[in-house]
Amino acid sequence: MIAIMKTQKRFPPSNNVISMAWSDMISFEEIFKKTGLKESEVIKIMRKELSPNSFKNWRKRVSGRKAKHRKLNELRNDHSLL
């Protein structure tokens, strides 16, 4: 009998992803570089691992936050030089 293995994407330990996602200093782009996880995948992990209230608070905190999006953060830094 031949066993067929499904290819599964290997995620880093979720506690590392969670701590990076909570950090104000680490953007989603940096999380992607370190783990290969897209922002949507980080959100799925956070939804799965956090309590509903904690997830809701985290989403409010990071939604639109310039520090979590490197490109937006770079734009802010360019304008701060004026």
pLDDT digits (tens, 9 = 90+) for 48-69: 999 999 999 999 988 877 667 6
Average pLDDT, the chain: 78
CA angle, 38 then 69 then 48, to 5°: 45
pLDDT value for 12: 62
pLDDT value for 73: 53
